[in-house]
Amino acid sequence: MGNRGEIDYLINAIIRGELQHSVECAERLLRKGLPVEDLIREGLTAALRSLDSKCTNEEFNLLEIMLAGRALMAIMDDVLGLYLPASPLVDTIPEKTIIVGTIRGDIHEFGKHIVRMLFKANGYRVIDLGKDVAPHDFVKEAVIEGAGYIGVSSLITLTIPSIREIKEILVKGGLQTIKVIAGGAAIQQATAKELNVDFVAKDPFDALRYLERASMNSTIPLR
């Protein structure tokens, strides 16, 4: 079975909630030399998209979603942690500090967990507020922690008005230097202008590249 076939097997194993098979397949792919970025983008993110669609149609089954989520978390905790570099010590500075959370009205966290792990592995200080987070709480924590970025996640289009509020609160408070990054399957088709954010990430690595570019250039245009 080639990498493509094994990646498809991994996706299906996650969706079926087969924890042991999922972990073994992910380990096998990485041992064979598949880059971690490809495993996350082509395997884990693809599985997340499938789970997202199940959450929003008549196929929804809470037990299936929970089992799939458990398999996904096992890969992140037991496999990716061994292949991603250890989190380096970072200074508490805005350019290296980001607040992340799932916006008010949404309780999905799988994608956010991948983002948190990836950012930490690349030297960022990440404060995770969890799920169902109110817009003003993102801003409050960003001020308290001296963060330069807020990363907001959502898989539900109905949360878009709440996402828009974050930048509005920042502007009213004179905190425009804090950049807002949005991500999640349901809002990826929206533009940064529509969401009132600084950047809409297609996947975790897209968000990471934005952070890296923003550290060098604070005048990145909205996308």
User: Rounded to an integer, what distance in angstroms lies between the CA atom of residue 149 and that of residue 139?
Assistant: 10
Dihedral sign, Cα of residue 9, residue 10, residue 13, residue 19 = positive
Residues of the chain falling short of pLDDT 50: 219-223
Residue 223: the pLDDT is: 42
According to CATH, the superfamily of the domain at 94-216 is Cobalamin-binding domain (3.40.50.280)
* Both structure tokens of 218: 């604070």
Residue 137: the pLDDT is: 97
Residue where the block lists tokens 């975790």: 204
Residue 91: the pLDDT is: 60
Each residue of 26-72: pLDDT tens digit? 999 999 999 988 898 888 888 877 766 665 555 556 677 778 878 88
- Straight-line distance from the first to the last Cα atom of the chain, in angstroms, rounded to the nearest whole number: 39
Give, for 199, the enclosing helix (H) or strand (E): strand 199-201
- Each domain of the chain, given as residue ranges in start order, spans 3-83, 94-216
- List helix spans (H) across 155-201: 160-172, 192-195
Residue 64: the pLDDT is: 78
* Both structure tokens of 18: 């087969």
Residue 198: the pLDDT is: 96
> Is 94-216 the same fold as 3-83?
no
User: Rounded to an integer, what distance in angstroms lies between the CA atom of residue 187 and that of residue 105?
Assistant: 14
Residue 52: the pLDDT is: 60
The CATH classification number of 3-83 equals: 1.10.1240.10
User: Rounded to an integer, what distance in angstroms lies between the CA atom of residue 205 and that of residue 119?
Assistant: 9
Residue 70: the pLDDT is: 85
Residue type, 103: I
